[in-house]
């Protein structure tokens, strides 16, 4: 749903699929030369996976690509992820409009 909303806002969305490892995600980001990475995590593993994505991005010198995340992420975790460099986090109540606006802002100013 998010992918479609972003497309309708004129973006090119590389839909990478479900259950990707952090390694696969950063590799896709590099090969596709993306402006922005959106992670959707519902499994509860966000504190393990998202920081790993950030570390790998820095390692391949694409650490300047902004990362945002969505899913069921408790406030305390969200604070820590933002401190680690995640630019925006959306909970289940976020509207598509909010997500699109934020994504546009990050893609413009992030890189």
Partner 1 sequence: MTGSRQLPSAARAIVGGDRRALARAISAIENGDPAAGPILKALYSRTRQVPVVGFTGPLGVGKSSLINLLVARLRDQGRTVAVVAVDPSSPFSGGSVLGDRVRFERRADDTGVFFRSMASRGAAGGVAAATLETARLLDAAGFDVVFVETVGSGQVDVAIREIASTSIVVLVPHLGDEVQTMKAGLFEIADVFCVNKTDLPGAELAKKDLADLVALGPSASGWAPAIVGTSTTSPTGVDELWSAVEAHERFLDTSGERSAGERNRLAAEIVGLVRDRVGRDLTRELSQDPSLRRLLDRVVARTLDPRTAAERLFQDVHRGP
| Residue placing its CB nearer to partner 1 in the complex, 61 or 109 | 61
Contact call for residue 101 and partner 1 (CB under 8 A): no
Residue 28 engages partner 1 in binding (rule: CB under 8 A): yes
Which has the closest alpha carbon to 81: 61, 105, 58, 55? 55
Measured in residues, the chain has a length of 111
| The one segment of 55-63, 76-84, 86-94, 102-110 that binds partner 1 by CB under 8 A | 55-63
Report the site for partner 1 in 60-89 (rule: CB under 8 A). Answer: 60-62
The residue among 82, 86, 88, 92 whose CA lies nearest residue 101 is 88
By CB under 8 A, is residue 32 in contact with partner 1? yes
The answer to whether 32 and 60 are in contact (CB under 8 A) is no
CA angle 37, 39, 44 (to 5 degrees): 155
Asked if residue 1 binds partner 1 (CB under 8 A), the reply is no
Q: Which residues bind partner 1 (CB under 8 A)?
A: 3-4, 6-17, 21, 23-24, 27-28, 30-33, 60-62
């Amino acid at each position: 749903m998010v992918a479609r909303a972003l497309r309708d806002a004129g973006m090119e969305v590389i839909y990478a699929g479900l259950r990707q490892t952090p390694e696969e995600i950063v590799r896709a980001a590099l090969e596709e030369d993306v402006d922005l990475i959106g992670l959707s995590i519902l499994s509860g593993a966000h504190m393990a996976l998202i920081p790993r994505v950030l570390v790998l991005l820095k390692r391949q010198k694409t650490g300047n690509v902004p990362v945002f995340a969505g899913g069921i992420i408790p406030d305390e975790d969200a604070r820590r992820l933002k401190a680690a460099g995640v630019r925006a986090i959306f909970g289940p109540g976020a509207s598509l409009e909010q997500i699109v606006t934020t994504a546009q802002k990050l893609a413009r100013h992030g890189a």
